Amino acid sequence: MKLLVPVKRVVDYNVKVRVKSDQTGVELSGVKMAMNPFDEIAIEEAVRLKEKGVATEIVAISIGVTQCQETIRTALAMGADRGILVETDVSPEPLAVAKMLKAIADKEQPRLIILGKQAIDDDMNATGQMLAALLGWAQGTFASKITIEGDTATVTREVDGGLETVALTLPAIVTADLRLNEPRYASLPNIMKARKKPIETIKPADLGVDPAPRLTTLKVVEPPKRQAGKKVGSVAELVDKLRNEAKVI
């Protein structure tokens, strides 16, 4: 069966983002970019399903600027078979992304789409759920385990206070949480091979989707800064402060 895995190019998780002084957003120029960590987990899971013989083809999709090709190449180096880049200069919101992915899914007819549970830039945590809604498919969000048998995906989900297991009728959407797997590093030979794998480039208009945002960002500011507090000299002093000054224990 065919799998789709959307991958997003985001600021690398090790970068300390800086808010621009004009409050229009965060500084992105000259900043190291990488694949969204949850999307790496999604790709890894897809590759494992292919290695188990469950999946036959993995298509990695990215939506955004030309450089998203690099993100797709990373997915190809990890084991995806081909890529689709929806090239646009606007950074589309989850609703527009979900509409574009739906249009691609209508054409590609996958049995399963695995996404990261959220992107670490806008932290929306919405695209997977929205894509499931638009397709009318079942959704298994925040997955820590996926088993495919026949027409059913059994998904263990990370919920408040523990785990929940649901059975989804395929085709379905799964979003990857941290514990699903530990993504591999692409080997050099696989990085070389990935260069030869095909990437198709299309535009949002080819998918009949207007990527115009519904939300206007009025301003972006830094959160209130924490002041460094005081050093205490001993464990006894620490416990005393927590009890009698901060009153938290």
Question: Interface with other proteins includes 134 (CB under 8 A)?
Answer: yes
Query: Between residues 174 and 194, which has the closer beta carbon with respect to other proteins?
Result: 174
Question: Interface with other proteins includes 66 (CB under 8 A)?
Answer: no
Residue list 39-58, contact with other proteins (CB under 8 A):
none
Q: Using CB under 8 A, pick the residue from 2, 48, 82, 241 that binds other proteins.
A: 241
Nearest Cα neighbor of 191 from 80, 84, 67, 78 is 78
Candidates 46-54, 107-115, 201-209, 222-230 — which segment interacts with other proteins by CB under 8 A? 222-230
Give least dist CB 193 to other proteins, A.
Answer: 27
Question: Interface with other proteins includes 16 (CB under 8 A)?
Answer: yes
Residue 249 and residue 247: Cα distance in Å, rounded? 6
| Torsion sign, CA atoms 124, 220, 214, 59 | negative
Residue 83 and residue 68: Cα distance in Å, rounded? 11
Task: Tell me the C-alpha to C-alpha distance, in Å, between residue 40 and each of 29, 54, 138, 140, 233.
Answer: 23, 19, 22, 18, 44
Candidates 42-50, 185-193, 201-209, 240-248 — which segment interacts with other proteins by CB under 8 A? 240-248
Nearest Cα neighbor of 15 from 3, 26, 4 is 26
Per-residue mark of binding to other proteins, 180-219 (x: CB under 8 A): --x------------------------------xxxxxxx
Q: Using CB under 8 A, pick the residue from 9, 78, 158, 207 that binds other proteins.
A: 158
Phi-psi region of 75 (alpha: psi -120 to 50; beta: other; left: phi over 0): alpha
Query: Between residues 188 and 236, which has the closer beta carbon with respect to other proteins?
Result: 236
Give least dist CB 157 to other proteins, A.
Answer: 8
Task: Tell me the C-alpha to C-alpha distance, in Å, between residue 249 and each of 13, 177, 226, 229, 246.
Answer: 33, 33, 21, 18, 8
Question: Interface with other proteins includes 90 (CB under 8 A)?
Answer: no
